[in-house]
Amino acid sequence: MSSYFTDLAQQYIDGEWRSGSGSWDIIDFNPYDGEKLASITIATVDEVDQAYRAAARTQRAWAEAGAFARRAVLERALRLVEEREAEIAEVIVAELGGTRTKAGFELHLAKEFLRESVSLATRPEGRIIASPADSKENRLYRVPVGVVGVISPFNFPFLLSLKSVAPALALGNGVVLKPHQDTPVTGGSLIAKIFEDAGLPAGLLNVVITDIAEIGDAFIEHPVPKVISFTGSDKVGRHVATVCAAQFKRTILELGGNSALVVLDDADIDYAVDAAVFSRYVHQGQVCMAANRVLVDRSVAEEFTAKFVAKVKGLKSGDPRDPETVIGPLINSSQAEAVSAVVEQAVAAGATALVRGTTRDNLVEPSVLTDVPAGSPLLRQEVFGPVAFLIPFDGEEEAVRLVNDTPYGLSGAVHTADVERGVRFAQRIDTGMFHVNDGSVHDEPLVPFGGEKNSGVGRLNGETTLDAFTTLKWISVQHGRSVFPF
């Protein structure tokens, strides 16, 4: 595994592994023990330009190579991920502080999305559309957008980079990828290495490891990319959207969430507890779909709370390399401090801590809070860490109001013995995704993924990926002669 951090601590531009030309380095740390994994000299604005120019120069030949040639490269990339799965899992554990369970979860989904990208290569189809003129033939072609810029986050960097990179390549585009600076290998250079070894022509996929302190808006302002696919916070997403709109670029924005898991009065309590604990504490709560809020009908709140608290107290925190660890470290000290501050603010405002975990460096133990004052801004924001808010409610109407009382609208779940009651409830929630009798954390390659409100714009997965990374072109053919009015 250590060779990954030694060999891949570089930029990948136009098929070459090279150092950045910036004046400072990004230091890649293990968030659990602080071990220095790699030192990477950052890319400059000039290197961002070189990366985009390389992608633009090579993209047309890649598109013209045909769907089956592209599919073959994606198939080889999938086989390489399967062959290297154990090594990639070690990288996820070391660079993200992800537990063994989380690494397995991320790799399983990554392989599923690669399989879907293999299929996606041959899926675009054209159409012949009727014309009011008998002698006119209207052809509609689905073509690549050209070059796609991808900005990926630190929480699921391997999966969420691949979710845009693989389908964009499969559909005939060039790509420039900027991974998060806390996960430059898992989310960036590791993916470049896989596609290089799979035989992807040089220049089509470029990885620039850098920071906005160095490049500003150069990555999203550059004239080459026609689509920017961004996954991250709604604050940064708003800026990306604003800059891109001014340049008529298309954006796919997968942003934050403040999801709720709702337990109705007829729910299977033991099952709902299991779903809620997973939905809140998977990967230390660093998941956009995590159930920040757990809403429980007051008639079953006492039983649910006792069982929920008992299960949370049993979650083992510590070294993510230990297979029994459920709660590993947060990604960095600023995240750890922010999450700890949320607990302190809530308690100071009158909340009751049923479980109050301690913080040691980046390791933040789970907390469970109740009696958070109604209307508290803490209940309306995303908390990217292992803190659950338990909120009782009286009846479905109040539950719907509470769930919707947030600027976000990504995911959520409801538990009930009556499936159709659950579906009716889900239909009243302002989210892009909602799950009946399950957890709130789900992603599948065929189902449109995305949110409403501040949780994003656009969708990925399945057929919606075609809309994200291709465009439609109308070519008409006049058989015979048109008659013009003058």
Q: Using H for helix, E for strand and C for coil, what is the string for the chain?
A: CHHHHHHCCCEEECCEEECCCCCCEEEEECCCCCCEEEEEECCCHHHHHHHHHHHHHHHHHHHHCCHHHHHHHHHHHHHHHHHCHHHHHHHHHHHHCCCHHHHHHHHHHHHHHHHHHHHHCCCCCCEEECCCCCCEEEEEEEEECCEEEEECCCCCHHHHHHHHHHHHHHCCCEEEEECCCCCCHHHHHHHHHHHHHCCCCCCCEEECCCCHHHHCCHHHHCCCCCEEEEECCHHHHHHHHHHHHHCCCEEEEECCCCEEEEECCCCCHHHHHHHHHHHHHHHHHCCCCCEEEEEEECCCHHHHHHHHHHHHHCCCECCCCCCCCCECCCCCHHHHHHHHHHHHHHHHCCCEEEECCCEECCEECCEEEECCCCCCHHHCCCCCCCEEEEEEECHHHHHHHHHHCCCEECCEEEECCCHHHHHHHHHCCCCCCCEECCCCCCCCCCCCECCEECCEECCECCHHHHHHHEEEEEEEEECCCCCCCC
Phi-psi region of 254 (alpha: psi -120 to 50; beta: other; left: phi over 0): beta
Distance (Å, whole) CA 419 – CA 7 = 52
Q: Is 341 exposed, middle or buried (0-12, 13-18, 19+ CB in 10 A)?
A: exposed
Of the residues 116, 196, 244, 288, only one is catalytic, namely 288
Q: Tell me how long the chain is.
A: 486
Respond yes or no: is residue 244 known to be catalytic. no
Of the residues 47, 95, 106, 254, only one is catalytic, namely 254
Which two three-digit tokens encode residue 436? 């009946």
- Cβ-contact 469, 171 below 8 angstroms: yes
Q: Please give the C-alpha separations between residue 378 and each of 187, 295, 354, 370, 412, in angstroms, as whole numbers.
A: 30, 15, 17, 12, 18
Respond yes or no: is residue 254 known to be catalytic. yes
Q: Is 302 exposed, middle or buried (0-12, 13-18, 19+ CB in 10 A)?
A: exposed
Give me the active site residues, please: 254, 288
